[in-house]
Amino acid sequence: MITQETFMKDVFTSYLAEEMRRDEKVVVLDADLAKCIGTNKMWAEFPDRMFDVGVAEANMASIAAGLSAYGFKPVITSFAPFVTRRCADQIMISIAYAKQNVKIIGTDPGICAELNGGTHMPLEDIGMLRSIPNVTIYEPTDAVELARLMPQIMAKEGVVYVRLHRKNPTLVYSEDENRAFDLYKADVVREGKDVSIVASGIMVDTAVKASEALAEEGISCEVVCCHTIKPIDAETILRSVKKTNAVVTCENHNVMGGLRSAVCEVLCENYPAPVRSVGVKEQFGEVGKVPYLRKAFRLEEVDVIAAVKEVLAAKK
């Protein structure tokens, strides 16, 4: 049962263990962070299919490619900056270019890296991976959505990057959510007519809360949860924007290369509309707890509200 206390890393590891029981081709590779991600809990049950390669992410990525070439289904894990930035070329050549079937799990996206600070705070991972052909990029919104989408992620043949918050972000969905989650479909979590807020990750809940506050001022926001940044669900975004004619993007990532860029690419070629963005702007990460970091990088509810008002002014 999923509650507000459920950690997303536990949703991930428990489904992964189920999948390993069902499918003996699934193998897991860690780079000395298994104890942080929780995959160490599976060591005893699957001693032959768990590989901790040590602090060597590049090696891990290419070994995974070799295992995939042998017919296995590798899952590689580490903190997001190390399993993307540190082995970008190995993901590009050994895995993606070679058309291998590898799942990449990167934890602690953006400001969720908190006390590990700037060196561990990935604000560019989506931008880097988005330019590699045929890589699916998924950022879970909450534990409910992740639990529903894990089977689709594991069943997908090819490269899927999961930008996983290890902890328990505020639930956007309840466990009895009657919604057919689809890895490749964005979800309208709140309907509205004045502005479309396209959000991902921890910013979805922020967008919903900002919308509630704006509703009291008579501003009607539609919140589109864009959990999969690549390939982006242009259809759902365009359907919303054709109704509202104004867009605010919200992401826990650099606005350059991430969700904002992906949304703007859709709009500029199909339906140009004014856009304002909430996200990290030309800054490196820094150490701190989430409330401080939200303030430092302007990722708070008030920032979403300000962006909505700004884009509404531009729309007029």
What character string, x for contact with other proteins (CB under 8 A) and - otherwise, covers 218-237?
A: --------------------
Give strand ranges (E) for 108-218: 135-138, 159-164, 187-190, 195-199
Q: CA torsion, points 70, 74, 78, 84, in degrees to nearest 10?
A: 70
* 8 Å CB contact between 279 and 259: yes
CB atoms within 10 A of CB 213: 15
With CB under 8 A as the contact rule, which of the stretches 32-40, 87-95, 112-120, 279-287 interacts with other proteins? 87-95
90 binds other proteins (CB under 8 A): yes
Shortest gap between Cβ of 70 and other proteins (angstroms)?
3
Distance CA 63, CA 70 (A): 11
**Which of 17, 53, 287, 290 touches other proteins (CB under 8 A)?**
53
128 binds other proteins (CB under 8 A): no
Site size with other proteins, rule: CB under 8 A: 30
Q: Which uninterrupted H or E stretch holds 225?
A: strand 221-225
88 binds other proteins (CB under 8 A): no
103 binds other proteins (CB under 8 A): no
The smaller minimum CB distance to other proteins, of residues 105 and 164, is found at: 105
Q: Considering just the CA atoms, what is the radius of gyration of the chain in Å?
A: 19
Helix residue ranges, H only, 90-215 = 125-130, 143-155, 203-215
* Sign of the four-CA dihedral 55, 61, 65, 70: positive
Shortest gap between Cβ of 105 and other proteins (angstroms)?
17
The smaller minimum CB distance to other proteins, of residues 93 and 290, is found at: 93
82 binds other proteins (CB under 8 A): no
93 binds other proteins (CB under 8 A): yes
With CB under 8 A as the contact rule, which of the stretches 45-53, 265-273, 278-286, 287-295 interacts with other proteins? 45-53
64 binds other proteins (CB under 8 A): yes
